Chain A
Amino acid sequence: MSDEVIGKWELSRRRVLASTAGLGLLGSAGRAFGQSAGPWSQAPKSKVDRLNFVVWTYGDIYTRIAKQFEADWGVKVDSTISSFNDHPTKLTTMFAAGEKIDVSQSSPFSFPNFVNQGLVEPIDSLPGAADYIKDFTPFTKQVATVNGKTMGLPYFSAVWVWNYYADMLEKLKIDKPFATYDEFIEHCMKAKKDGVSRYPVLWVAGVGLEQLPGTWYQMTWNRGGTFFDKQGNHMLGAGSVARETLKWWANTFEKGLDISDPESLKVQFTTSAKAFGAGKNLYRGPNHHYGLNVVNDPAQSPIAGKVKVHGSPGDGKTIGVTHVYFLTSATRDKEWGWKLLQYLGGKTKDGNYTQAISLAKDAMLGSGYTSVMNSDAVKQGWAPWGDVPAILKIWDQAAYIGEVCSSVYQPWHFPWTDQLNIEVQKCLTGQITADQCCDNLIKGIADAKRKV
Chain B
Amino acid sequence: MSAGSFAFFMNLPTLFFLGLVLAYPVIYAGYLSVHQVGLAQLRRGVFAFNGWDNYSRVLEDPLFWIAIKNTSIFTAITVGSEVVLAVLIALLLNQTGIWTSRITRFLILLPYAIPPIANGLIWSFLYSFQFGFLNRILFSLGLIDDPINWAGNPDTALYAVTVPYIWRTLPFAIILVHAALQGIPRELYEAAAVDGARAWHRFWHITLPLLRPIIAIILVLRTAFAFAVFEEILAITQGGPGDATWVAAWYSYKITFSPPNNFGMGSASAFILTLMIGLIALVYMRMVYRRVTL
Contact = CB atoms under 8 A, between A and B. Distances in A.
Interface stretch (B3-11, B38-46, B170-178, B194-202): B38-46
A450 B61 CA distance: 11
Interface stretch (B73-81, B101-109, B147-155): B147-155
B240 A422 contact: yes
Q: Which residue of B61, B130, B242, B265 has the most chain A CB atoms within 10 A of its CB atom?
A: B242
A263 B258 contact: no
B153 A262 contact: yes
A266 B131 contact: no
Contact of A88 (B241, B243, B259): B259
A421 B128 CA distance: 20
Nearest to A112: B259
B39 A119 contact: yes
Q: Which residue of A114, A265, A414 has the most chain B CB atoms within 10 A of its CB atom?
A: A265
Nearest to A119: B39
A93 B240 contact: no
A418 B240 contact: no
Interface stretch (A132-140, A178-186, A424-432): A424-432
Contact of A117 (B40, B61, B153): B40
A422 B62 CA distance: 13
B259 A92 contact: yes
Contacts of B254: 418
Main secondary structure of the interface of A (DSSP, over half): helix
A87 to B, nearest CB: 11
A414 B258 contact: yes
A278 B240 contact: no
Nearest to A430: B154
A89 B261 CA distance: 9
B94 interface: no
Given A119-B39, A262-B152, A207 B261 contact: no
A118 B40 contact: yes
Interface in B130-155: 130-131, 149, 151-154
Contacts of B261: 92, 96, 113, 117
Nearest to A96: B42
Nearest to B128: A263
A415 B261 CA distance: 10
A163 interface: no
A96 B254 CA distance: 16
B262 interface: yes
A452 interface: yes
Nearest to A99: B43
A6 to B, nearest CB: 62
Interface string B39-55: 11011000000000000
Nearest to B131: A278
Interface string A422-452: 1101101101000000000000000100111
A411 interface: yes
Contacts of A88: 257-259
A193 B213 CA distance: 61
Given A95-B43, A117-B40, A425-B240, A262 B129 contact: yes
Given A96-B43, A117-B39, A119-B39, A426 B243 contact: yes
Contacts, number: 102
A89 B258 contact: yes
Contacts of B43: 95-96, 98, 118, 330
Interface residues of B, number: 33
Contact of B259 (A110, A261, A266, A431): A110
Nearest to A205: B241
A322 B265 CA distance: 32
B130 A425 contact: no
A421 B149 contact: no
B263 interface: yes
Interface in A31-59: none
Interface string B224-267: 00000000000000111111001000000010011111110100
A192 interface: no
A306 interface: no
A207 B258 contact: no
A265 B236 CA distance: 12
A412 interface: yes
Contacts of B240: 207, 265-266, 421-422, 425
Given A207-B238, A431-B242, A96 B258 contact: no
A174 B261 CA distance: 50
A418 B251 CA distance: 11
A263 B241 contact: no
A76 interface: no
Interface in B23-78: 38-40, 42-43, 57, 61, 63
Nearest to A437: B242
A280 interface: yes
A330 B257 CA distance: 18
A305 B48 CA distance: 59
Nearest to B146: A198
Contacts of A412: 260
Given A96-B43, A426-B154, A113 B241 contact: no
B130 A415 contact: no
A114 B128 CA distance: 35
Contacts of A96: 39, 42-43, 261, 263
B241 A429 contact: yes
A421 B243 CA distance: 9
A116 B262 CA distance: 13
A428 B153 CA distance: 10
Interface string A98-115: 100000000000100110
Nearest to B45: A98
Contacts of A447: 61
A431 B238 CA distance: 18
A435 B241 CA distance: 18
A116 B261 CA distance: 11
A5 B131 CA distance: 66
A89 B252 CA distance: 13
A412 B262 CA distance: 12
Contacts of A113: 259-261
A363 to B, nearest CB: 24
A235 to B, nearest CB: 23
6 contacts: A263-B128, A415-B258, A418-B254, A421-B240, A425-B240, A429-B154
Counting from the closest, the 5 A-B pairs by CB-CB distance are: A426-B242, A113-B259, A89-B257, A414-B259, A96-B42
Given A88-B257, A278-B131, A429-B242, 4 more contacts: A92-B259, A262-B129, A330-B43, A418-B254
Interface of A: 85, 88-89, 92-93, 95-96, 98, 110, 113-114, 116-119, 207, 261-263, 265-266, 275, 278, 280, 330, 411-412, 414-415, 418-419, 421-423, 425-426, 428-429, 431, 447, 450-452
